[in-house]
Amino acid sequence: MKKNGCLIGTIGGIVLILLILVFWGVRTYNGLVSKDEAVQSAWSQVENVYQRRMDLIPNLVNTVKGAADFEKSTLEEVVAARASATQVKLDPSNLDEADIARFQKAQDALSSSLSRLLVSVERYPDLKATRNFRDLQAQLEGTENRITVERQKFNEVVRTYNTAIRRFPRNIIAGMFGFGKKGYFTASEGAETAPVVDFGSQE
């Protein structure tokens, strides 16, 4: 009887430990899923603000195109940079460092071309004085600011996720179910700088 009692107790202990491990594994997995979803949601916000900028550019280009003798090469550069940035599509479930770097490179090139366009407009006071251009310029400035904010939020969410999948013992569950490291936006030269918009010079 004693042997049976010990055996039952041992089996019961093993079952209890297994149940605890299963409960912990399920809870950990669900927590990692939530963090992964948070990364994808933050990425969606990043895409939204970048898309808003994409939508503003055709109107901006058409407005500037109406100015006499405006530099054609500057406009062509903006159009080409926008087309290039539009072609970069990422899978939100697999945002690795290489993909983020590719996306950032295309968007930074567009930011640089927009900056050059706005600097060139300084030589066209009549164009700067038009209400349409001022409205577009203000919308662009606001969008650039929102891009910076959403990129920072994205990096914060990714940092939380990456930390979670590396910590022991959660890294075991992360490895078992393929939760890989996500990429960040890096502070490359000019990446966090909005195009120059000087409202003071318009007065």
pLDDT at 66 over 80: no
Helix (H, G, I), strand (E, B) or coil at 183: coil
Average pLDDT over residues 36-60: 95
* 42: its two tokens: 């933050």
84-88, 127-131, 190-194: the lowest-pLDDT one: 190-194
pLDDT at 125: 86
> Residue 193: its pLDDT value, please?
44
pTM listed for this prediction: 0.83
DSSP string, 114-162: HHHHHHHHTT-HHHHTSHHHHHHHHHHHHHHHHHHHHHHHHHHHHHHHH
**To which residue do tokens 């409960």 refer?**
23
> CA 33, CA 164: separation in Å to the nearest integer?
11
45's tokens:
């916000």
What angle do the packed helices 2-65 and 72-87 form, to 10 degrees? Answer: 160
The stretches of the chain forming alpha helices (DSSP H) are 2-65, 72-87, 97-121, 125-128, 131-166, 170-176
Amino acid at 46: V
| Residue 68: per-residue pLDDT | 61
Q: By mean pLDDT, which of 60-69, 91-100, 121-130, 150-159 is the weakest?
A: 60-69
Which residue ranges form the domains of the chain, and what is each CATH number?
2-202 (1.20.1440.20)
Residue 170 parent element (H or E): helix 170-176
How far, in Å, are 30, 61, 160 from residue 25 at the CA level? 9, 54, 19
Mean pLDDT of 152-165: 97
Q: Is the pLDDT of residue 173 over 60?
A: yes
Amino acid at 43: W
N- to C-terminal Cα separation, the chain: 98
The band of 127, judged by pLDDT with boundaries at 50, 70 and 90, is confident
